[in-house]
Amino acid sequence: MNPSGLWVWHFGLPPRATDALGRALGWPGQGLLAAAATTSPCPGAQDGCRPVRLADRRWRCPDCGAWWSVAQVARFAAVARYDQPVGVDVEDGRHRPGAYRRASDWIRGQIRTDEQWTQAEALWKAAGWGQRRPVPGEIPLGDAWRCGWQSSLDDRWWVFTAATPNPWSLALPRTGPQPPALNVVRQAWPVRSAGAPSGRRLRPGLPGSDDQLDPVGAGIIEGK
Ligand SMILES: [Zn+2]
């Protein structure tokens, strides 16, 4: 795979064991991030990227400078990699009017869907403000949203949103007139072994996605 560019890994997560009280145990976000990063060729390291967490809660590879982000819900997780700061968020599609109402204060409009929620959170994470709560109106998103690419209200961010397999979004700085090509890798978790995980190409048709995958490289593509 091309070691640069915008990449998103989708992990389908199997049902997780429960603790002694019957509560579902969470999947380790850091492990998901590491699993994706080891498949990403890194000019500075033999075993792929090794992102570390910065003080602002963003992830960055100290060897090549790539930016990373991870998000998960019960059965689905996403990891994003880009040459500039990037934020990714996923939700499980539940309708949560109370949470939407509270989060509506952060944008310049009303949050009515999980997709909008993921847009706000992805942008918040990309900006590196994840260690605090937004002040009212601070997130430059409005009522108008759609699947695919769109610009933030202040034209400083690109936001990509999709409704499948779960509502998810990513956000990154807007540095040109066109958003970057988006490469998506679907993967089952746990990966079978480090360096040779099972992966398959996402079917074409994801809005705005170029689905560009290079089968040469880290061996992440099989069963096309
Ligand atoms: Zn790296």
The Å distance, Cα 65 to ligand 1 centre, comes to: 6
Determine the pLDDT at residue 2. 59
The Å distance, Cα 220 to ligand 1 centre, comes to: 17
Please give the single-letter amino acid code of residue 37.
Answer: A
Determine the pLDDT at residue 3. 63
- Counting as low any pLDDT under 50, the low residues of the chain are 193-224
The Å distance, Cα 47 to ligand 1 centre, comes to: 9
Burial class (CB in 10 A: 0-12, 13-18, 19+), 107: buried
The Å distance, Cα 5 to ligand 1 centre, comes to: 12
The Å distance, Cα 73 to ligand 1 centre, comes to: 26
Contacts of 194 (CB under 8 A, 6+ apart): 35, 38
The Å distance, Cα 66 to ligand 1 centre, comes to: 6
Cis ω for the linkage preceding 190 (within 30 of 0): yes
Name the residue among 114, 119, 75 with its Cα closest to residue 96: 114
Determine the pLDDT at residue 18. 63
